[in-house]
């Protein structure tokens, strides 16, 4: 049965907004620091760099992926709105909406009924297991990979139905984009390969035609694209991957547990969380092993028994399992790769189709029971009851998704949940401590950092966090001790030298500060922050030429280095070079609207240039945003004096 496409699109839009618009109030979390906030690659539009450099993944050494399309999408967000999380989360929400729409588009072919295809799309759009992919900016990679794979599969189906060669071209382009969004899109290949045998409702019992004509020829181009991607991935990204971490104690069982628990989250999405612990990473659990083995044997039996009677059921199960197969290397590589819900984005498409097909089967069974028994009203009662259950499920799913967004909108709640689910995770304790530290809850932050050290006594990042905490407390001897411990455990971590340099600057020890920042720069020659700090030291020493050179070097690496922008502007102010000073302050204020110093300096420079109207507009905004704190009284008086003079 055909239904208007606009009606389905409108329904999905309303439901996605109802369920996930709460995500738009969130921020950056976890891997977002490296992949967005500190990724200099997204600051300038440079597609060739995204395709050829493994650093484009996260902007740091050790990036374990090759995702240039995802990085390019972040670059678009940055060009439009800088580092405002709102734009990035809008991008995730739109990507989720697009995947839900493609679940409907492909479902029309698989389920042969627009109504049930729409049900599948609604299930995908509202299932709480997909909430993480919307709320977690870095999880956009999973959404883009699923979207590209679904478009590629749709093009594959259209070509099989008699479409022109351009469908193949479109499918290959979409598949390449999916692979370049996230490597897990390789799971599409087995789904394509098995579809002629298992997926086509009208061809479930055989291929017909020649093997080459019916199977090899349609699949071969996709295999070639996949092989080409693997070659590029190996040459660009593989050597750069950082696989530090302990191997899983029972890798095969770990993979089975990861797969089983991922599928179970679709059946019963509770508890949800950023990370889920995997039992077999550290110990063997006989009871869990038995459950997994019985489930695996039962699933294999169903697949073999029903491969002819229910080909779509069997093929959809294989799609779902194939989507989880790329997780296989994680247990072998590192224990850092815990189960994260966004990784189900690809598998969830098939699970949505299967769920819709199962509901259709139950509805048909109930209707037949009513009709065969001569009780037509019973069939109507069955339908009304099913509709009521469906409405309750939709309302419940919307509520659960909004509840998940509320958790993701609060860093402390998010990491408290992660600690509760994975108390043995050192990174969960660390991130919860950082969240407390950002709220100036220093005692709670210290407690979490020390709990991370109980879990992992040699955890360098926990010592580094304690060092930063002591700097905030202005306890510099303790800070230096923690930072020295960090360097002893991880001598290649430049952040420690930055922090030591900051301590030395606060103590007026210019030579020690310079040595620390030089060490950080030696570890990372592209360290814009170290260049800016060295420029500040030179400026304080009166070496303005060296300071300017350092600031310009910093801005070449990172055009948004605020310290370099503001201090270069101040340098020009000292030279009474008002136009160049205004250029720097304006750029700093544009990139960071919350930088009140940049806005004040911009207004001050405009005042010297006689542009009074602009001065009044900027300073009125500065005064409105200055905190009601005596610390800012001097700035408030200076701004008011300039305002009075401009009148």
Q: Is residue 217 part of a domain?
A: yes
Kindly tell me the number of DSSP H helices and DSSP E strands found in the chain.
32, 0
Dig out the tokens for 260 from the structure.
């089983």
Q: Is residue 252 part of a domain?
A: yes
Quote the CA–CA distance of 171 and 567 in Å, as a whole number: 51
Query: Could you say which DSSP state residue 62 is in?
Result: B
Quote the CA–CA distance of 212 and 563 in Å, as a whole number: 63
Q: Is residue 288 part of a domain?
A: yes
Q: pLDDT of 465-506, one tens digit each?
A: 999 999 999 999 999 999 999 999 999 889 999 999 999 999
Asked whether the whole model's pTM tops 0.75, one would answer: yes
- For 339, the 3-state DSSP assignment is strand
Domain that holds residue 130: 5-28+83-238+246-403
Q: In 237-323, which ranges are E strands?
A: none
Beta-carbon contacts of 628 under 8 Å, excluding residues fewer than 6 positions away, are: none
Q: Is residue 638 part of a domain?
A: no
Q: Is residue 126 part of a domain?
A: yes
Mean pLDDT of 187-196: 91
As a three-state string, the secondary structure of 474-488 is CCHHHHHHHHHHHHH
Mean confidence (pLDDT) of the chain: 88
Q: Is residue 394 part of a domain?
A: yes
Domain count, the chain: 1
- For 241, the 3-state DSSP assignment is strand
pLDDT tier at 53, thresholds 50, 70, 90: confident
- Is the pLDDT at 208 greater than 80? The verdict is no
Q: Is residue 123 part of a domain?
A: yes
Q: What is the pLDDT of residue 242?
A: 54
pLDDT tier at 335, thresholds 50, 70, 90: very low
Quote the CA–CA distance of 191 and 214 in Å, as a whole number: 15
Quote the CA–CA distance of 106 and 112 in Å, as a whole number: 10
Q: Is residue 134 part of a domain?
A: yes
Dig out the tokens for 318 from the structure.
């294989």
- For 276, the 3-state DSSP assignment is strand
Q: pLDDT of 66-122, one tens digit each?
A: 899 999 999 999 999 888 999 999 999 999 999 999 999 999 999 999 999 999 999
Rounding to the nearest 10 degrees, give the CA dihedral for residues 180, 182, 187, 188: -50
Size (the chain), residues: 647
Beta-carbon contacts of 633 under 8 Å, excluding residues fewer than 6 positions away, are: none
């Amino acid at each position: 049965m055909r239904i208007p496409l606009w009606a389905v699109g409108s329904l999905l839009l309303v439901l996605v907004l109802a369920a996930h618009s709460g995500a738009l109030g969130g921020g950056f979390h976890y891997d977002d620091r490296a992949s967005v906030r500190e990724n200099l690659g997204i600051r300038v539009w440079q597609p060739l760099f995204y395709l050829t450099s493994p650093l484009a993944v996260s902007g740091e050494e050790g990036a374990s992926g090759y995702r240039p399309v995802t990085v390019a999408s972040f670059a678009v967000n940055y060009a439009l709105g800088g580092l405002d999380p709102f734009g990035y989360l809008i991008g995730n929400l739109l990507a989720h909406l697009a995947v839900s729409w493609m679940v409907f588009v492909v479902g029309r072919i698989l389920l042969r009924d627009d109504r049930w295809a729409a049900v599948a799309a609604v299930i995908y759009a509202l299932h709480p297991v997909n909430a993480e992919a919307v709320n977690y900016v870095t999880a956009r990679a999973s959404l883009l990979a699923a979207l590209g794979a679904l478009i590629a599969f749709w093009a594959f189906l259209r070509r099989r139905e008699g479409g022109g060669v351009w469908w193949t071209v479109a499918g290959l382009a979409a598949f390449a984009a999916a692979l370049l969004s996230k490597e897990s899109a390789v799971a599409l290949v087995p789904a394509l390969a098995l579809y002629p045998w298992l997926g086509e409702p009208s061809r479930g019992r055989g291929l017909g035609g020649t093997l080459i004509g019916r199977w090899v020829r349609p699949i071969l181009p996709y295999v070639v694209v996949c092989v080409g991607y693997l070659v590029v991935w190996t040459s660009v990204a593989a050597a750069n991957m950082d696989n530090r971490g302990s191997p899983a104690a029972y890798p095969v069982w770990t993979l089975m547990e990861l797969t089983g628990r991922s599928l179970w989250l679709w059946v019963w999405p509770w508890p949800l969380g950023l990370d889920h612990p995997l039992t077999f990473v550290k110990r063997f659990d006989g009871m869990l092993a038995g459950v997994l083995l019985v489930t695996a044997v039962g699933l294999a039996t169903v697949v073999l028994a029903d491969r002819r009677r229910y080909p779509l059921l069997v093929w959809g199960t294989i799609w779902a399992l194939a989507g989880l197969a790329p997780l296989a290397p994680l247990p072998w590589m590192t224990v850092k790769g815990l189960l994260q819900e966004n990784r189900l984005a690809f598998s969830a498409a098939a699970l949505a189709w299967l769920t819709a097909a199962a509901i259709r089967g139950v509805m048909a069974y109930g209707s037949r029971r009513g009709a065969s028994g001569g009780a037509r009203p019973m069939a109507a009662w069955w339908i009304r009851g099913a509709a009521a259950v469906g409405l309750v499920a939709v309302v419940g799913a919307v509520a659960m998704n909004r509840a998940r967004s509320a958790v993701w909108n609060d860093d402390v709640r998010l990491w408290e949940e992660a600690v509760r689910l994975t108390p043995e995770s050192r990174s969960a304790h660390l991130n919860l401590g950082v969240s407390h530290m950002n709220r100036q809850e220093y005692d709670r932050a210290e407690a979490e950092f020390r709990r991370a050290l109980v879990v992992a006594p040699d955890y360098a990042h926990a010592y580094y966090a304690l060092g930063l905490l002591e700097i905030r407390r202005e306890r510099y001897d303790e800070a230096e001790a923690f930072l020295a411990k960090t360097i002893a455990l991880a001598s290649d971590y430049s952040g420690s030298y930055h922090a030591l340099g900051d301590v030395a600057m606060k103590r007026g020890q210019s030579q020690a500060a310079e040595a620390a920042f030089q060490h950080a720069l030696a570890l990372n020659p592209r360290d814009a922050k170290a260049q800016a700090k060295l420029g500040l030291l030179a400026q304080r020493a009166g070496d303005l030429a060296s300071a300017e050179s350092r600031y310009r070097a910093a801005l070449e690496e990172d055009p948004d280095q605020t310290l370099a922008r503001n201090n270069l502007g101040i340098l020009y102010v000292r030279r009474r070079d008002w136009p160049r000073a205004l250029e720097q302050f304006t750029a700093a204020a544009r990139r960071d609207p919350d930088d009140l110093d940049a806005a004040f300096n911009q207004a001050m420079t405009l005042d010297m240039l006689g542009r009074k109207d602009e001065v009044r507009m900027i300073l009125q905004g500065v005064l409105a945003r200055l905190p009601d704190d005596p610390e800012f009284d001097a700035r408030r008086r200076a701004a008011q004096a300039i305002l009075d003079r401009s009148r």
